[in-house]
Amino acid sequence: MSQRQQHHWLPAAGWLASYRRDDLRGDLTAGLTTAVVLVPQGMAYAMLAGLPPVYGLYASTIPLFIYALFGTSRELAVGPVAMVSLLVVASVSQLAEPGSPEFISAAITLAAMVGVIQLVLGLLRGGFTTNLLSHPVVSGFTAAAALIIGLSQLKHLLGLDLPRSHHVHEIVASAVARVGEIEPITLAIGAASIAFLVVLKRLWPRFPSALAVVILATVVVSVLGLQSRGVAIVGDVPAGLPAPQVPTFRWDLVTELAPTALTISLVAFIESISVARAFARRGRYDVDANRELFGLGLANLAGSFFGGYPVTGGFSRTAVNAEAGARTPLASIVTASVVTLTLLVLTPLFHSLPKAALAAIIMVAVFGLIDVKDVRHLWRVKRSDLGLFVITFAATLGLGMEEGILVGVGASILTFVVRTTHPHTAVLGRVPGTRVYRNIVNYPNALTTPGVITLRMDAQLYFGNVTFLKDALKRLEADLDVPLRAIVIDASSINQVDASADATLLEILERYEERGIGMYFAQCKGPVRQVMERSGLKEQIGEERFFLDLHDAVQAAAVHEPRSSSDERPVTPTSNPINPSPCQAPVNATP
């Protein structure tokens, strides 16, 4: 295997071979700092996922080591995240009681399935699949998920045994109905923790506020003996690393978890690649989407053999990692080592940690995902995209997380279909004193040629929108004050023409020819000309009616004379013209 191939399959070989001693201090500092954030977050997110808190630490060891070797981002901090945790509990809780051995086994199997899906997508270069999730859909889903995640922690924050639900209105209604049963001490701990986190985040953003809350809350509960007064605590946290174990792969379990595994694979990768690219732009280097899929897939698959549940790259920890000085993935290896040390030595310290403090950490983290600025931006830039945001947001809140993301994807595809079947078109006129043509709506002074319609369609021409073109031409002709003499199609924005569109163009041509109306084309691209030539449409239109310059085409159309019957051309497939006309580029030339 060549050195280049080795670096492709094992990115760590590249950065290790060129590792600079000057980077070591930054990587050590960043790794330690990120671990300080990850330990309490990992435990909190495991609790959110319906798992014992220690499984958040299990998911923060092996996956980090593996990603550091196979990932392409220098700063990305992999581990448990809120959104994936809620997807885990949403699906697995339908199969087993959260926290039960069956639930834990199914969550670990889910991690293995996510790993396999991401791994296969990476090997097949399937990074493009994330294009199904547009930015408004991801934003709407994230905002709704943040509300669901945050409110799902009300039971820990209030000390109430609320029924599990993924619908916000049901959670709020249950809490309001039992407001008289709220544990005041638990509420005080949770509220104080939230206030502490918010204040520290504003005053000292780089301070490990989550760890400080964990330490203070644990000390207060332990010293005052609040456990005996109704405050729920984490309890005994098993010390040591879990023994390697093959995940359970039963056919019925796999089929039940398959939709969620696919959803988590895409949603987790979207979150991870977005964060990785954001920090790669700052560092002026590139991340490979397919290699990222491969690295995350291996991380999840390997982690499932050591008690891990699905993980991905998270924004908050990555920001901490980068700000603390991470220069290479060695920082992630340091983080994983610190978490491993915590599992081996420090777990007894978490016995008196109140669940209300972990709930506060989750709520502060996820409510920060609701980006009001993004909503304002969509309102200002494109209202239809804001519509996608609202649809996804409402569907996620009203139907559930998996259903919400499916509705969002469906709405995105429907919007795409509508946009391509009803593309933007423009009637063009010449800017006075120039040979330049512009949309007459935006340039009211642009000059049009009487009896000539000059039209530009900004989309590929295919079976879905060719009828739209026919109707647009009919409407434009009906609005003319003089008889139609010729049609000029500015094809500069048409990248492709399929067989259906080609056949319909022939139909349009024949109908216009019967009425003595000419049809001219300007600025056709190579792929479009080639389709027309192979079908015989180009010969039927006539080589003399294809122009490189739009102004030349309009001038020719202005003096159009109907063909006599002897000028009609048979529609037969032809080869590339040997001697194209002076105003026409050779077929294989792409302007």
Residue 249 in domain: yes
For residue range 258-317, list pLDDT tens digits in order.
999 998 998 888 888 878 887 887 777 888 888 999 999 999 999 999 999 999 998 778
Q: Which domain holds residue 105?
A: 11-413
Q: SS3 of 281, please?
A: helix
pLDDT digits (tens, 9 = 90+) for 38-76: 888 898 899 889 999 999 999 999 999 999 999 989 889
591 within domain boundaries: no
Report pLDDT digits (tens) over 413-472.
888 888 888 999 999 999 999 999 999 999 999 999 999 999 999 989 998 898 899 999
pTM (two decimals):
0.70
Q: Angle at the Cα of 12 (from 11 to 15), degrees rounded to 5?
A: 95
Any domain includes 352: yes
Rounded Cα distance, 8 and 269, in Å:
20
Rounded CA gap, 423 and 444, in Å?
A: 22
Regarding whether 96 and 67 lie in a shared domain, the answer is yes
In-domain check, residue 590: no
pLDDT 10s digits, 327-382: 899 999 999 999 999 999 888 888 888 988 888 887 887 777 677 888 888 888 88
Compute and round to an integer the Cα radius of gyration of the chain: 31
CA distance 527 to 457: 16
Same domain, 429 and 401: no
β pairing state of 486-490 and 518-522: parallel
Q: CB-based contacts of 313: which residues, under 8 Å, 6+ apart?
A: 73, 76, 77, 78, 81, 271, 272, 273, 275, 276, 296
Total domains present in the chain: 2
State whether 315 and 167 are in the same domain. Answer: yes
Asked if 226 contacts 190 with a C-beta cutoff of 8 angstroms, the reply is no
- My answer on whether 364 and 225 are in the same domain is yes
Cα–Cα distance for residue pair 541/532, rounded to 1 Å: 9
| 582 within some domain | no
Within this chain, do residues 340 and 489 fall inside the same structural domain, yes or no? no
191 and 73 in a single domain? The answer is: yes
Which H or E run includes 313?
strand 312-313
Q: Within this chain, do residues 185 and 120 fall inside the same structural domain, yes or no?
A: yes
CATH of the domain at 430: 3.30.750.24
| Domain match, 394 and 467 both | no
And the tokens for 425?
A: 């078109």
Please identify, among 392, 413, 434, the residue that sits at the C-terminal boundary of a domain: 413
Residue 582 confidence (pLDDT)? 36
Q: Which helix (H) or strand (E) holds 490?
A: strand 486-490
Q: Are 46 and 80 in contact (CB under 8 A)?
A: yes
Are 292 and 430 in a shared domain? no
Does residue 455 share a domain with residue 390?
no
Last residue of a domain, one of 378, 413, 448: 413
Residue 5 lies in a domain: no
Nearest Cα neighbor of 557 from 471, 483, 457, 454 is 454
Same domain, 409 and 430: no
Which residue carries 């239109």 as its tokens?
Answer: 541
Question: Of the candidates 413, 440, 456, which is a domain's last residue?
Answer: 413
Q: To 5 degrees, how large is the angle CA 160–CA 199–CA 229?
A: 30
Cα separations in angstroms, 573 against 148, 158, 219, 466, 576: 61, 77, 85, 22, 10
